[in-house]
């Protein structure tokens, strides 16, 4: 038994500092952390764990999203009927849909709060300036992900919210009409738009965001861990 266990984790029980270090850096998922952390950096009031919780909502959304995909067809009016099936036919279907939807709103809120926290901490300054820019891209990605998902239930709320949004694309000078056409696969919100939003929502944007988050978190490490004020100064 011990041999099997050792083949998986490759270190002993983490009751010595040596094994605790090994537990972190020989573990694929934990090795984003250094083996030791500054006490101030891990306090709740330093980051409110907002970046980590943004990533956590992304994880919850991935799991619930994949489950939802088993019950969803991106076509008209089947998409709407699938929502009704989730409500009346699928076991815990309503709960699944609720969890995905509220987590999506939560993610937008957490990412915004994370950005505000980072700004007021002054953590956007060198050497972290480009990570801030990556953050801005992640914010855009998060909002787009949420917005493309909004159309998928194909109810009145979905249809008109997306109509309001894509009409704004029309206001871009010269190429506005073309942008809108490209987004929708047509001149109005129709079945082609549903398919495009579905592919963006389930494949393109999550993949892009996953890579973006990986780079972002990697750079936090490369920039010397999260930013802390010099202990004696107020700057």
| Interacting residues with other proteins between 117 and 136 (CB under 8 A) | 119-120, 122, 124-130, 132-133, 136
Among 24, 68, 79, 118, binds ligand HEM (CB under 6 A): 118
Using DSSP's 3-state secondary structure scheme, residue 197 falls into helix
Closest approach of Cβ 217 to ligand HEM, in Å?
5
Instruction: Report how far apart, in Å, the C-alpha atoms of 103 and of each of 99, 108, 149, 190 are.
Output: 6, 9, 12, 27
Verify binding: residue 102, other proteins, rule CB under 8 A.
yes
Specify whether the CB–CB gap between 221 and 32 falls below 8 A: yes
Q: Of residues 24, 86, 111, 145, which one binds ligand HEM by CB under 6 A? A: 111
CA 36 to chain centre: 27
* 205 forms part of the interface with other proteins (CB under 8 A): no
> Could you give the CA distance from residue 66 to residue 109 in angstroms, rounded to a whole number?
22
**Residue linked to tokens 């929708």:** 184
Partner in contact with 51, chosen from ligand HEM, other proteins, none, beta carbon below 5 to 8 Å by kind: ligand HEM
* Rounded distance between C-alpha atoms, residue 49 and residue 110, angstroms: 10
**Which residues of the chain form contacts with ligand HEM (CB under 6 A)?**
47, 49-52, 54-55, 111, 114-115, 118, 121, 123-124, 128, 131-132, 135-136, 138-139, 142, 213, 216-217, 220, 226-227
């Amino acid at each position: 038994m011990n041999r099997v266990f050792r083949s998986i984790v490759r270190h002993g029980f983490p009751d010595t500092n040596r094994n605790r270090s090994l537990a972190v850096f020989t573990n694929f998922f934990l090795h984003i952390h250094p083996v030791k952390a500054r006490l101030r950096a891990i306090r709740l009031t330093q980051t409110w764990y907002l970046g980590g919780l943004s990533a956590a909502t992304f994880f919850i959304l991935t799991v619930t999203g994949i489950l939802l995909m088993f019950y969803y067809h991106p076509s008209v009016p089947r998409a709407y009927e699938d929502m009704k099936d989730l409500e009346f036919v699928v076991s815990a279907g309503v709960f699944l849909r609720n969890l995905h939807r509220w987590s999506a709103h939560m993610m937008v809120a957490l990412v915004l709060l994370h950005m505000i926290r980072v700004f007021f901490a002054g953590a956007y300054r060198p050497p972290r300036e480009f990570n801030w820019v990556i953050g801005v891209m992640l914010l855009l990605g998060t909002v787009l992900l949420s917005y493309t998902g909004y159309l998928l239930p194909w109810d009145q709320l979905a249809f008109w919210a997306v109509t309001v949004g894509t009409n704004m694309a029309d206001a871009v000078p010269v190429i506005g009409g073309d942008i809108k056409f490209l987004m929708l696969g047509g001149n109005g919100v129709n079945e082609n738009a549903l398919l495009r939003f579905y592919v963006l929502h389930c494949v393109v944007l999550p993949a892009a965001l996953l890579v973006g988050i990986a780079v972002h978190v990697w750079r936090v490490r490369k920039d010397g861990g999260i930013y802390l004020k010099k202990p004696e100064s107020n700057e």
